[in-house]
Amino acid sequence: MGQEDLASHYLSMADFEDSQKAFQKMREYCTTPKHIAEMTSKLMFATIASGQWILVQSNCHKARVLSLNPDDKAKIEPVIEACSGLAYLGIEDYRNAATMFLKVDPAFTASSVVAGINFSKAVLSSNDIAVYGGLCALASMDRDELRTKVLDNAQFRQFLELEPHIRRSISLFCDGKYSQCLETLEAYRSDYLLDIYLGDSIPMIYHRIRSKSIIQYFIPFSHVTLASLAQAFPKPGQATTSADLMAEELVDMIESGLLHARIDTVEGLLVAPPKDQRAETHRGVLETAQEVEHLLRLKLHKINMAQADLELKGPKHGKGAKVGGGDTALSMTDL
């Protein structure tokens, strides 16, 4: 208790290093898994306050592997998942961050008071989980994953109800309405830039969502005019975008490996790489032939085993009774 009071005092003074040292000294006096979980939760809070995301991940892992009783585990697990997602967001690992936020139980708000710390008020709220999880999912998942793991996720849907514009943005992206999705997100950019955890990541997250939208828009076509792309994807804060500015953005995407295409500057086109239909047909035929050969070899192997009398006879049921009028024969391949 003395170390806890001292650590809380350091924490109130924003002396995060000394507060972490005092919390760690509590470990020597912890006698039950519940005590260790409370000490680890306090360390999680101190490391989040100081922005030490690697230590946050470490403490989350320590708390996750503790052998707690079901009631204590159900209470602390949503906090662990939320803090772990926040740590992944801090190191810009958006896919793992989305995965963690999607796992958070809707009971997070009701059970967020751990070791005297109300994480839903002091760290992140249910609305924050909806925003962070939705944006990270948009930045890192494809359309099928967004539909199955986010929109069809009954657990996370309860968080999305708190932020309807995030759910609407994901729905628009899944429906192929990319420009409307970007417009919806742009309306909230200034609010998100003021977020203490999300603000630094917003430019990168929005850039990834925009790049994904352009790629998905281009997939069905063999070529698209730069003017139509500029009209469909105007720069933030601009009603329209010139073809030259769009070409510069496409060049960056091509050089970074995000977009597999070529730019025809004479005709003003974005051209998909040519496909060798003859080579693709040959490749498909060879794959089919290999599959047929594999199935035929399995059948020949089974016939050879039967001829060599290597089949296993199934046990008889009852006194001399036979299943189906005869013994059940099982080959080695069936086993």
pLDDT tens digits for range 6-50:
777 777 777 777 777 777 777 777 777 777 877 788 888 888 888
CB contact at 8 A, 30 and 39: yes
Measure the CA angle with vertex 115, ends 9 and 111; round to 5°.
135
Architecture of domain 31-220: Alpha Horseshoe (1.25)
Q: How confident is the model at residue 1 (pLDDT cuts 50, 70, 90)?
A: confident
The proportion of the chain whose per-residue pLDDT surpasses 70, expressed as a percent, equals 88
CA pair distance 214, 233, nearest whole angstrom: 8
**What is the reported pLDDT for 317?**
61
Q: For the chain, give every domain's residue range.
A: 31-220, 221-295
CB contact at 8 A, 140 and 208: yes
Q: What are phi and psi of 189, to 5 degrees?
A: -60, -45
**For residue 332, pLDDT beyond 60:** no
Q: How confident is the model at residue 318 (pLDDT cuts 50, 70, 90)?
A: low
Q: Does residue 121 come out as left (phi exceeding 0), alpha (psi in the -120 to 50 range) or beta? A: alpha
CB contact at 8 A, 177 and 137: no
**For residue 197, pLDDT beyond 70:** yes
Task: Calculate helix-pair angle for 2-12, 33-50, nearest 10 degrees.
Answer: 20
Q: How confident is the model at residue 99 (pLDDT cuts 50, 70, 90)?
A: very high
**What is the reported pLDDT for 172?**
92
Architecture of domain 221-295: Orthogonal Bundle (1.10)
CA pair distance 173, 142, nearest whole angstrom: 9
